[in-house]
Amino acid sequence: MSDLFELSVTRRIDAPVEKVWRIWTERLAEWWAPQPWTTELIAFDLTAGGAFSAVMHGPDGESSAIEGVLLEVVPGRRIVFTNALTAGWVPQKPFIVGIFTFAEEDGGTRYTAAARHWDEATMQQHESMGFHEGWGAVTGQLAGLAEMPERSAALP
């Protein structure tokens, strides 16, 4: 077991890094929550120190909010997020540091989404909440959007 207390999913997406990055950053609300859940994006400032806030809504009226800050943004390569802080560097009870990487692989993208936890108990809690199923599903949704052919502007 790693001392990073990390869970991750990785997938090769059959689309160039630039397109996967664009879908990730510009269409986040379309893929962030496993269907049939939806995402209401409240704030998404794609800069280091920028605020991130979203509410995921379930089909039976349930909701799950997440708020944090982006720690690192390397365009086309990496996004690092934590919910240990909110906008303005206000501490809150931490759960994860999310690390999302995009790497060119044979004309496509090797996408990795990792969640690092402060301790083993929190990591195991996240795993038992369905980490692999949930993060795998949203990675699949991201891939589905990125692998979809783009429409020509000339088409009606």
Unique residue bearing structure tokens 């664009």: 22
Domain boundaries, the chain: 6-147
Measured CA to CA, the distance from residue 106 to residue 101 in angstroms comes to 16
pLDDT at 150: 76
Total Cβ atoms within 10 A of residue 116:
18
Q: Please, what is the average pLDDT of the chain?
A: 94
Provide the β-strand partners of residue 38: 57
The per-residue pLDDT for range 90-133, each reduced to its tens digit, is 999 999 999 999 999 999 999 999 999 999 999 999 999 999 99
Domain 6-147 in this protein, CATH class: alpha beta
Question: Where residue 1 falls among pLDDT bands split at 50, 70, 90?
Answer: very low
